[in-house]
């Protein structure tokens, strides 16, 4: 665990901030770090920038509320990076939903197609960095509709080798289904409750895989075998619940 200073805090939208950290890491896009606040807790965050190391955080639970109280110059604990990152293969397409754009930012310049979605204009992130299709559920910005609608159009009309996706799991499940239909490789970054970050506690199990160690990025071969993908997850107590209940729990 390293104690590092916060060099910069960027307000991305009404509920999201990016924290630039004074640390050098040999990390890949899609990997994550464990961030701790003294006397509060420790949580996993993927990297929205590799150099300088940056984590992008949505204020939703007790830990993130405390993190939002921090100022430039304050210190947090950082350990990692952990897990698997994205593996660039051929002509790529990114499909991101909401905060899911964050771990994909380091590779957006390396893909030919980019589809980014959010509930509304106010929920969009990094619009200034996006050179691709932007859509919102309510049509308040960009195209109206879900990311999967526009992904299917791309897969029908263009030659894509790999789709990289992160966002709500129900969206990623549909993205994976389209990739299977059009015989395109899919790499999805999954989220589960994590305690240790390196495969000891088993809290982040999905199917027979541990998201922290075997993921968080899974390719099509593994996604086909994950029975829980798009369906269920474990709460902090270890109880298995449907995804909707899991995400409601994570908001607390």
- Check residue 172 and give its pLDDT: 96
Residue pLDDT tens, the chain, 252 long? 899 999 999 999 999 999 999 999 999 999 999 999 999 999 999 999 999 999 999 998 899 999 999 999 999 999 999 999 999 999 999 999 999 999 999 999 999 999 999 999 999 999 888 889 999 999 999 999 999 999 999 999 999 999 999 999 999 999 999 999 999 999 999 988 887 887 777 788 888 888 888 999 999 999 999 988 988 888 887 888 888 888 777 665
CB atoms within 10 A of CB 251: 8
Q: What is the DSSP code string of 86-141?
A: ----SSEEEEEEGGGGGGGGGGGGG-SEEEEEESSGGG---GGG--SEEEETTSSS
- Check residue 168 and give its pLDDT: 93
Per the listing, tokens 């929920």 go with: 123
Say whether 200 sits in a helix, a strand or coil.
Answer: coil
Say whether 242 sits in a helix, a strand or coil.
Answer: strand
Identify the H or E element spanning 19: strand 16-21
Across the strands, what pairs with 85?
none
CB atoms within 10 A of CB 65: 11
- Check residue 251 and give its pLDDT: 62
Residues 6+ apart with CB under 8 A from 224: 180
Q: Which tokens is 185 given?
A: 């490789």
Q: Which tokens is 22 given?
A: 């004074």
CATH superfamily, region 2-82: Translation factors (2.40.30.10)
93 burial level (CB within 10 Å; 0-12, 13-18, 19+): buried
pTM over 0.85: yes
- Check residue 234 and give its pLDDT: 85
Integer Cα distance of 44 and 240 in angstroms: 20
Integer Cα distance of 63 and 224 in angstroms: 33
The domain defined by 84-189 folds into: Rossmann fold (3.40.50)
Per the listing, tokens 């807790």 go with: 41
Every domain of the chain and the residues it spans: 2-82, 84-189, 191-252
Residues 6+ apart with CB under 8 A from 238: 203
Across the strands, what pairs with 42?
36
């Amino acid at each position: 665990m390293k104690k590092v200073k916060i060099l910069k805090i960027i307000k991305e939208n009404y509920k999201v901030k990016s924290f630039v950290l004074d640390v050098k890491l040999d990390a890949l896009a899609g990997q994550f770090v464990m961030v701790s606040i003294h006397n509060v807790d420790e949580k996993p965050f993927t990297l929205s920038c590799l150099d300088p190391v940056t984590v992008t955080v949505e204020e939703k639970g007790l830990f993130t509320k405390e993190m939002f109280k921090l100022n430039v110059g304050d210190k947090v604990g950082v350990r990692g990076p952990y897990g698997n990152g994205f593996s660039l293969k051929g002509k790529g397409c990114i499909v991101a939903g909401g905060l899911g754009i964050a771990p994909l930012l380091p590779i957006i310049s390396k893909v030919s197609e980019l589809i980014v979605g959010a509930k509304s204009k106010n929920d969009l992130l990094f619009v200034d960095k996006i050179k691709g299709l932007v859509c919102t559920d309510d049509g308040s910005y960009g195209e109206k509709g879900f990311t999967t609608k526009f992904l299917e159009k791309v897969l029908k009309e263009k030659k894509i080798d790999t789709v990289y996706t992160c966002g709500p799991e129900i969206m990623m499940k549909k993205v994976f289904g389209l990739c299977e239909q059009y015989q395109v490789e899919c790499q999805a970054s999954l989220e589960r409750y994590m305690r240790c970050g390196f495969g000891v506690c088993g809290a982040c199990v999905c199917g027979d895989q541990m998201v922290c160690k075997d993921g968080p990025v899974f390719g099509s071969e593994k996604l086909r075998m994950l029975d829980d993908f798009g369906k269920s997850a474990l709460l902090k107590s270890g109880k298995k619940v449907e995804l909707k209940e899991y995400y409601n729990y994570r908001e607390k």
